[in-house]
Chain A
């Protein structure tokens, strides 16, 4: 199969392009956006297992991002912890909060769970305003950067991209093997999955806790990238954005949500009028995708392509005038 090696070559080329990006990027602004995409992707890759594979609709994941970001800002900024070690603390805190949230709410029906995650986002926003001794309240907190060699834009990009790559590799491993199958089975029919021995609450809880960990790590990276955080940074619409990236990219795949993240992060930054529309754009996109292509845009394009390919070629007789006349002339001559 040539397509396998072609796909491998293409993947290698894309990876090369991603990891050498700081060397050939035309300006620092694009590098900033690329770093933002990578930081978002750390969260979305974990969330993808929850939303895309397990089918638990967590809309308020921004709450966990916020927890990780504030933990990072407080521990590094106020108490002078080592940034890299603090990332793990942020992730652990996110995982702990995800565990506490998921323990009761993952057993509930889908809508109840979605509401619980919205509630988490609101509670975190409320607390980050209320505990102003710790979080700076409405004025916010400055966030320090990383130590050398990660203190330049390019170095920081490589750090975030490396973490994003590691998270992607982990989720890919989960998705490829038995776990991923079990998650997809659970998403498509809980009863059927339970009847073949998938321990549903436990599976969901583990995956959700993992996504909490990646959200916490992403929070630390995101905060450091923003260099200043306030409760306004973590608006509910940001959680909606993460969610839309996955739904638009398609559920049950990894590449689709990744492309969704890249496009949806870059588009409002590069196209001015879209930025003005803000979340309205995400709302329209979500509604359109659900109505037109519920399996995501990638799947929609693939089926459309296949339909085009499979269209039976029309058997139109194409007369060849020269041969026709020759044949007639030959016949008349006989």
Chain B
């Protein structure tokens, strides 16, 4: 039983972190970016590149990977979101982030190769630890840090309160003198950092693999849709539930039906409770 729960929680933590990254970007821009999972993929790839290939210390590798995530998140806002939001067509951001996500994934594929490569050890540890191996608990620890950090950031810091103000009502925030464009760019950078951090922590689980991005985009979205759009605790619970469910499905019917089970969960939740477990019901007056 434990060998179902532990890997499930580990991969679920990564899904949850991707869900939180979605949330951070969605809160300020109302955009669900297809490049969300690719931010985590970058964390894993650049972690392996800095530590494994360049031989840098682990801390430097972590900082470097997160910095890449922050830069790409920032770039996402500038290239794919800012100009598109100025137009009224609501589908355009989907197309532009899809284009950007494809560019990121294929560029990494050309540079890094399309085969998964191993991620170096972050903490010295034998490979005999079994279920207590760092590849299982590092993502969970990273998720705890991210979730706690987000809550502290939103509740205790001025900038966090500005984020909340923009997400609740961008017009009102603007009228109060908040530079909403700048806040939006910052939120994308933050989401990039969160995604890359989680991707780095889960690197030993997913390997440094260029195709992880799209899988995380889909599963992070499922975690978010199950937990409820806009809620950090919802993303955490949704992600962990999704991870446990897919892990259980792998144990029962085999690993080849993982996606099917995940989508089944999504469809079930959308049919029964479309706003998710912790999401606010969206009612629009017409």
A286 touches B95 (CB 8 A): yes
B138 contacts A by Cβ under 8 Å:
no
Q: B100, A287: Cβ atoms under 8 Å?
A: yes
Residues in A neighbouring B257, C-beta threshold 8 A: 126-127, 130
Segment among B46-54, B85-93, B197-205 that sits at the interface with chain A: B85-93
B113 to chain A minimum Cβ distance, whole angstroms, is 14
Judge whether B94 and A111 touch: CB under 8 Å.
Answer: yes
Cβ of A282 under 8 Å from chain B: yes
In the complex, per-residue mask of A197-238: 1 if CB is within 8 Å of any chain B CB, else 0: 000000000000000000000000000000000000000110
How far is A59 from B87 in the complex, measured between Cα atoms in Å? Answer: 22
- Given contacts A104-B267, A280-B107, whether A122 and B218 have CB atoms under 8 Å apart is yes
A126 to B94, CA, bound (A): 25
Q: DSSP majority for the A interface?
A: helix
Residues of B with C-beta under 8 A to A285? 99
Residues of chain B from 182 to 228 with CB closer than 8 A to chain A in the complex? 214-215, 218, 221, 225
The reply to whether the CB of B161 lies closer than 8 angstroms to some CB of chain A is: no
Instruction: Decide if B102 touches A286 in the complex (CB within 8 Å).
Output: yes
- Tell me if B250 is interfacial: C-beta within 8 Å of chain A: no
Name the B residues within 8 Å of A277 (CB-CB): 106, 110
Contact between chains at A115 and B103 (CB < 8 Å): no
Known contacts A57-B91, A110-B90: does B80 contact A287 (CB below 8 Å)? yes
Q: Given that A291-B84, A294-B87 are contacting pairs, would A284 and B94 also be in contact in the complex, using a CB cutoff of 8 Å?
A: no
Contact assessment for B260 and A280 in the assembled complex, using a CB-CB cutoff below 8 Å: no
Q: Which residues of B contact A118 (CB under 8 A)?
A: 214, 218
Q: A126-B257, A126-B259, A287-B100 are in contact. Are A294 and B218 (CB under 8 A)?
A: no
Taking CB atoms, residues of chain A closer than 8 Å to B84 are 290-291
Point out the residues of chain B lying under 8 angstroms from A126, CB to CB: 256-260
Chain A residues with a Cβ closer than 8 Å to the other chain, count: 38
Q: Are B94 and A110 in contact (CB under 8 A)?
A: yes
Cα distance, A283 to B260, chains bound together (Å): 27
Given contacts A284-B99, A286-B99, contact A122 B225 (CB under 8 A): no
Is B4 engaged at the interface, CB distance under 8 Å to the other chain?
Answer: no
CA distance A284 to B99 in the complex (A): 6
Asked if A119 and B259 make an inter-chain contact with CB atoms under 8 angstroms apart, the answer reads yes
B95, A290: Cβ atoms under 8 Å?
yes
Is the CB of A8 closer than 8 A to any CB of chain B? Answer: no
B residues contacting A by CB (< 8 A) are 32, 79-80, 83-84, 87, 89-92, 94-96, 98-103, 105-107, 110, 214-215, 218, 221, 225, 254, 256-260, 262-263, 266-267, 270-271, 274, 286
Binding site for B on A (CB under 8 A): 55, 57, 59, 104, 108, 110-112, 114-116, 118-119, 122-123, 126-127, 129-130, 191, 236-237, 240, 247, 277-280, 282-288, 290-291, 294
Listed by A's residue number, 24 A-B pairs whose Cβ atoms lie within 8 Å are A55-B91, A57-B91, A57-B94, A110-B91, A112-B225, A114-B94, A115-B218, A115-B221, A118-B214, A119-B266, A122-B215, A122-B218, A126-B256, A126-B260, A130-B254, A283-B102, A283-B106, A285-B99, A286-B95, A286-B99, A286-B102, A287-B80, A291-B83, A294-B89
